Amino acid sequence: MISTLEFSASPKASILIIYTGGTLGMDYDEKGALVPCDFERVVARIPLLKELNINLSVISFEPPIDSSNVKIEHWVQIGQIIKDNYAAFDGFIVLHGTDTMAYSASALSYMLQGLNKPVIFTGAQLPIASPRSDGRENFVTALEIAADMRDGRPVVSEVCIFFNHLLLRGNRSKKVESRHFDAFESENYPVLAEAGIVIDYNYAALKEYDPAAELIFYPELKDEIVILKLFPGINHKVVSHILNTPSIKGVIMESYGSGNVPHQPWFLDLLESAVNKGVVVLNVSQCNGGNVIQGKYEASSALNQIGIISGGDLTIEAATTKMMHLFGRSVELDEIRKNLITSISGEMN
C-alpha cells in the first residue's frame, strides 16, 4: 500500500520511496534500545522534507529488514514495485541497510533494463535518531538528485548509490567502511556527482538518457553459484569441495592482483575439470579497484587455455549479481559466457 506525503500543490517532482529498513530507519524504543521504526517516525526526524517542493509517496517493507537478511526475493520485490509504479513517478529512492547495499544496487541495475529514471539507494551509518546521524543529509540530497531535471529530462537515469556527499554508479560501488561516514567507494569508475554547496554532476560519467528506451523488468535470478576466494595455503580438498558442489552452475573466483592464481597442476586441473563439466568460472580480483588481465603474468596465463573467463574490473558484488541475472535469463552457456564479458549496465569497461 502506498502512503503519500503531499508537501506542494505544484511539486517539481514526485518521488516514490521504497523503505526496506536498515540503520537509517532506527529509533529508540521505550527502553532506550535501537529498533527498526515505521517511516512516519523517519519523516518526523527530518522536518526539512517539507521544504524540498517534492511530493513523496512511500511503500514500506513489513516488517523492515536488516540488510544482512536480504535475499533474492527482496530484490525482486523492489524491482516489481518500481516496474508497477514506473509511469506514475519521476524517480525512486530505496532506503536500505549498508551491508548489502552494493549487492542490491548491482542486482537492480541488471533487472531494470531500459531504465530512464533515477533509482537511488541510500542509508546511514548512524540511526536517524542519533544527533550525529548521517541519514538526514544522505536522504535529503538523494531526494534532490532524484528530482533534478535538465531540459525536461532527469539528470540521472540509472541505478546509483548516494552516500556521504558522493553519487556512485550502483554496480561500481563497494562498501569499504563500517566506522566512518565514507562507507562506499567506486575505484574503477568516476564519481557521478559530488554534493557540496551545489550538486556538481559529472555529466560525462552519467549514463546517457535514451528517449526511445522502454523499461523491461527481468525478475528471474538463479542462486546456483558459489564464490571461491583464494588464499595462500588453500588446499586441494577445499577447492575440490567448492568446485564439485552439487547443482552449482557458476563459480566466481576471487584471485590475486590482476588475476593471478596458484600455478600448481592440481589447482589448474580442478578448474579445467569444472569448466569441462559445464561450470562457468569467472575470474575477478580481490583488490579494491582490481582489474583482471589474464596472461599478464605466468601465474594467470594458463587460465585462458582452460576456459576461465576474465571478469575485468568487475566488483565481486557486480559479478555475483550479474551471474545470477544471466543464469536467470538463459541456459545457453555460450550466451552466458559472452554476456559475462560484455557490459550490460555500465558495470565494466
Q: Mind listing the pLDDT tens digit for each residue in 182-193?
A: 889 999 999 999
Amino acid at 310: S
Pairing of strands 216-217, 225-229: unpaired
Q: Are 337 and 330 in contact (CB under 8 A)?
A: no
What average pLDDT does this structure show over 329-334? 92
Q: pLDDT tens for residues 28-65? A: 677 776 666 666 767 777 777 777 889 899 998 988 88
* Joined grid coordinates for residue 68: 544482512
Rounded to whole angstroms, the Cα distance separating 125 from 59 reads 22
Closest CA to 175 of 185, 166, 167: 185
Long-range contacts from 45-51, C-beta under 8 angstroms, 24+ separation = 45/128, 45/129, 45/136, 46/128, 46/136, 46/139, 46/140, 48/136, 48/140, 49/5, 49/7, 49/140, 49/143, 50/7, 51/7
Rounded to whole angstroms, the Cα distance separating 274 from 267 reads 11
Angle between helices 265-276 and 298-306 (to 10 degrees): 20
Rounded to whole angstroms, the Cα distance separating 168 from 156 reads 11
Q: Is the pLDDT of residue 290 over 60?
A: yes
- Per-residue pLDDT band at 73 (split at 50, 70, 90): very high
Q: Is the pLDDT of residue 262 over 60?
A: yes
- Per-residue pLDDT band at 3 (split at 50, 70, 90): low
pLDDT of residue 51: 78
Q: Which helix (H) or strand (E) holds 42?
A: helix 39-44
Rounded to whole angstroms, the Cα distance separating 311 from 305 reads 15
pTM for the full model?
A: 0.93
Phi, psi of 68 (to 5 degrees): -70, -15
Rounded to the nearest 5 percent, the helix, strand and coil shares of the chain are 30, 25, 45
CA 325-145-25 angle, 5° bins: 75
In the DSSP assignment, the letter for residue 168 is: E
Out of 20, 23, 98, 321, the active site residue is 23
Q: pLDDT tens for residues 194-247? A: 999 999 999 999 999 998 999 999 999 999 999 999 999 999 999 999 999 999
Other beta carbons less than 10 A from residue 87's beta carbon: 8
| 342 a catalytic residue | no
Closest CA to 124 of 115, 113, 132: 132
Rounded to whole angstroms, the Cα distance separating 43 from 34 reads 17
